[in-house]
Structure 1
């Protein structure tokens, strides 16, 4: 019987859960800010994980600084992941800013403006 999810999907889901806990409890909030892990995309060979995060309550420079701080803290985060997960090799972590939330809010705003214009 085939498995419903591939191994890379299961590993990425577990990494997302563990990263959320690590970012919430282990990292300095002042340096990183309020970060939400939106998605983890892991390569088929489990060597590289692209982590898409959203930084709330920050301007553009604050978002860039938070992503830079996360990428700088990658060795620490990776070591914490190693302690929490039972994998032979922990993937290389790369953090990226996910602007899908802002894009969605902008689309919703445009749709509501369009609806208001139709009603007038």
Structure 2
């Protein structure tokens, strides 16, 4: 996926998420959308990573172009990787965002962590 296609996917994804309590953050080599401090989805050149939770994982994995997210080689429970072909239409992308929102919006708000200094200590 090119830089332009990634930018367009970021814009398409952002348009599907209501403004309340949403934050954009660079993580996992892409642009993550956070709701109340919890990761909802992450857009990157590799496609989409959606946080659907353990209860929806089997349903999500049954969908085309979906696989378990394994950024370090070990599976991340409740996180699904979706190939670009699985989100090429607005309808497909919306279905992934809605599945992630059903899980993430039910989570308690996650407080922001203090930024770390270069020495690895929390800033005061």
Larger fraction in helix? 1
Do Structure 1 and Structure 2 share a fold, with TM-score over 0.5? no
Q: Normalising to structure 1: TM-score of the pair?
A: 0.29
Larger fraction in strand? 2
